[in-house]
Chains A and B, each alone.
Chain A
Amino acid sequence: MPMTQAEAGLPALDAQGVSKRFGAVVALRDAALTVRRGEVVALMGANGAGKSTFVKILTGALRRDGGDVRIRGQDTHLASPAGARAAGLIPVYQEPSLIRDLDVADNLRLGRTPADPFLHWVRELGIPDLRLDDRAGDLPLATLRVLDLARALAAEPDVLMLDEMTAALPTDLVERVLRVVRGQADGGRAVIYISHRFAEIAQICDRATVLRDGATVGDLPIEPGVEDRVVELMLGAALTPAAARDGGPRAMTGEPRLHVRGLSSGARLADVSFDLHRGEVLGVVALEGQGQDELFEVLAGQRRASGGTIEIEGRPQRFRHPADAIAAGLSFVPGDRADALLMVRSVRENIALPILAPLRRWGAIPMRTEGARVASAIERLQIDTRAQGEVRRLSGGNQQKVTIGRWVAGEVRTLLLFDPTRGIDVRTKRQIYGLVRDLADQGASILYYTSELPEIPQACDRVVVIFNGRVVEILDVAEATEERLMRAAYGLTSPEGRRAVAGAGRA
């Protein structure tokens, strides 16, 4: 795009003091990001730092409440994604954007993408055999992501925004993509590179901008050792030693209840191994999209494993349906409550559901036994039952208690909790930690994924950290400081961990 002389000196994108609130929740307070021509800038931040909100504002998907966004020095309103595109900012998101039911050529026409430059970039990015009449839905995920990038490049953007561009890509494509992205910047464009992967950031970025609690807290040039600074900034001053709960971790002896080796599934879960013992709460820490969703789904029988083994109490297992996992003693509480609840049915029916699922329970319900069971689950979890006629009328915290209570009402052996405290109040969170400890004390085993690091010392005995679909670190809770967990979650680990990362074939 031609530019005037005045424009030439100005940053391609300059956002300052951007703020956004959703009701009472402040998502962004003071976010800032500056990208000049010829630069690749990494945008970093832990879960909940406000990164996605910031990205949505910059790409016109959300409107900001305050602050300035200037593109080539001009104040821009960015009222819609189309507006952001017109201003020269083109994003590539993690979710493929091609319409699955159309072929590639029709998708190009829909987005008014010129075919020749598109095909040039497709070849450049390492996909030599693309046919324009392939249906998008038939192409593998990695190819779709590369096509999205090629489409963005063909539009010759001033500012290219890439969100976890290398997630789900095989190593050879990653190398190509990184080279092309760097080439864009060297050719005078500006690139915003959102990633959790320090190795890639070190390879192609010039600077890193770090967000924490909705504000930009640092803007660092990329140089050796910058990783430590970035982790420090992401964690903030709150680097206090973890307040460990009473009684240290117990010694885990004997045969593990759940024995997982080399588990893989899909593009994200590559190779996960761990043991979960009787009476143990094993925390799982991972950045978004590192394979933890797939791990829990495989263990719950929701998704098939493509490799590896699961043994329960020494017996190998293969799950074709959640009913198989339940029969083997694995109970799953998914991250999204809406996936687990019968919203229009009563608390009682929701809690009693798994008991009635097997064919042999289709007959008369022993109403009194069921009532007592449900009442004890309600009592144990302190569920507020003022609105028990329909679960959708309960608060989020109480809904979450119902999804857990469903398994506590039976005899729980192994509980898989996926981010059970997401979006619920502090008091309920405490109750859930307490319940998790109680269950473990009574001999249950619990696998506990959380997106909030401070929860780990409150609820867990040990922690596994997963990065890029692999276990990179296993720690006792006493050694698991937030800093150490955060470093591991970003793939910056102890020597053993680093070997595991290197094993993944990343630079």
Chain B
Amino acid sequence: MSVETARPSVLGRAGRFLRDHPTVTLILLLLALVALLQVLRPGIVNERWIGNTVKFAIPLAMLAACQTLTMLTGGIDLSAGTVATISAFVVATQAPLVGTGPALLIALFPAIILGLLNGFGVGICRVHPLIMTLGTGLIGIGCLQVYQRSVIATGSVVPPILEWLGTGRTGGLPNALVLFLPFAALILWAQGRSGFGRLLYALGANEDAARLSGVRAWQVYLALYALSGLIAGLAGLVYVGLIKAPSLSLAEPLLLPSVAAAVIGGTSIFGGRGGYAGTIVGALILTVLGTLLTLLQMPEGARRILFGLIILFVTTAYLRLTDQG
């Protein structure tokens, strides 16, 4: 009896390992899902499939970066889906008018404006991020509808460079990695090794303590939400290259999965804990899970139910094991 209590339980030890190496454990889960897929449909896992999975995971992982960064401060960015859609729609409608280069710049402009608006609301007016970003998301989509009327005659073209980026491959690898690898490296570096990144964790862990240490929170929030808007805009550009059909609801289906990817990846919605590495794996897990459920040829309803249950299960198991309750 005493021997049993003295030795940490299997669950306890697994928990400690998870705590120390959360990303490793998520990668194990990802590999398990891939193995399951291979068992169900032998031969499906090949280079081409991997390339496709990565291709679809990248826009999701980018939108999930918005959620991860804002969640580190205890916030969230529910306008990210709308912002991505706006950038995608604007680039496709402006490209025929002003050319690809200027269109890309014009497309990112509203993304940053909406981001700044979020930052203003959250950081200066102290509106809860959930409400603020929900509101700006609605405003953004309304503006887009107005904008759509004004450009209805011009038609839309997805610039070839975005198609190359979103869909193309080079030597079997998706071209989107050209953008995504430096992007991910930058975020991973910033979260741990830049003053800005540290302040995100500090605000999420204890905003009062950060204030007492001299942090002017509004500056951080303003920069954070503007950055989040920019990232969402970029994600929209990559995504429209992948889907090739801009619409007013283009990136909306990615919004909630982007939150789920960050949560599965171990970022606490209460702030202060987590990071982007887990989120990337979380986005891959969600993409593979999507394939798996499609392959099982379930009806759409059942697929969604299962998807929701799996997200709940993974998240609670993770929180339990890492003692974040």
Contact = CB atoms under 8 A, between A and B. Distances in A.
A480 B63 CA distance: 64
A342 B272 contact: yes
B80 to A, nearest CB: 22
Interface stretch (A124-132, A152-160, A360-368, A440-448): A360-368
A206 B41 CA distance: 91
Contact of B208 (A326, A339, A344, A353): A339
Contacts of B209: 339-342, 353
Nearest to B268: A344
A429 to B, nearest CB: 23
B291 interface: no
Interface string B195-221: 110110110011011111111100100
A334 B213 CA distance: 11
Contact of A342 (B194, B210, B219, B223): B210
A344 B195 contact: no
Contacts of B193: 364-365, 367
B198 A356 contact: yes
B272 A357 contact: no
A325 B211 CA distance: 11
Contacts of A363: 194-196
Contact of A339 (B205, B212, B214): B212
A300 B211 CA distance: 11
Interface in B164-200: 193-196, 198-199
A362 B195 contact: yes
A364 B208 CA distance: 24
A183 B201 CA distance: 58
A326 to B, nearest CB: 4
Interface in A106-163: none
A359 B222 CA distance: 12
Contacts of A343: 205-206
Contacts of B201: 342, 345, 349
B322 to A, nearest CB: 11
Contact of B202 (A302, A322, A353): A353
Nearest to B324: A344
Interface residues on B, range: 20 to 34
A357 B211 CA distance: 9
Q: B interface, by DSSP: helix, strand, loop or mixed?
A: helix
Contact of B198 (A334, A341, A352, A359): A352
A332 interface: yes
A55 interface: no
B244 interface: no
A340 B194 CA distance: 22
Given A342-B272, A364-B193, A323 B202 contact: no
Contacts of B205: 342-345
A321 interface: yes
B213 A353 contact: yes
B273 interface: yes
A356 B273 contact: no
Contact of B206 (A300, A332, A341, A365): A341
Q: Most chain-B CB neighbours within 10 Å: which of A302, A344, A352?
A: A344
Nearest to A325: B214
Interface in B216-246: 216, 219, 223
B200 to A, nearest CB: 11
Q: Most chain-A CB neighbours within 10 Å: which of B196, B198, B216?
A: B198
B215 A323 contact: yes
A357 B215 contact: yes
A365 B198 CA distance: 9
B273 A344 contact: yes
Contact of B212 (A332, A361, A362): A332
A322 B195 CA distance: 18
B210 to A, nearest CB: 7
Contacts of B202: 342, 345, 349, 353
A406 B213 contact: yes
A362 B272 contact: no
A358 interface: yes
Interface in B90-129: none
A302 B210 CA distance: 12
A362 B214 contact: no
A326 B219 CA distance: 17
A356 B219 contact: no
Nearest to B270: A344
A390 B202 CA distance: 13
A124 to B, nearest CB: 41
Contacts of B210: 342, 353, 357
Contacts of A396: none
Interface in A339-387: 339-345, 349, 352-354, 356-359, 361-365, 367
Given A343-B206, A345-B272, A353-B202, 13 more contacts: A321-B214, A332-B212, A334-B212, A341-B209, A342-B202, A344-B205, A345-B205, A349-B202, A353-B215, A358-B214, A362-B199, A363-B195, A365-B195
11 contacts: A302-B212, A321-B216, A322-B213, A322-B214, A323-B215, A326-B214, A340-B212, A341-B209, A357-B210, A357-B215, A363-B196
Closest 3 CB pairs of A and B: A342-B205, A357-B214, A356-B195
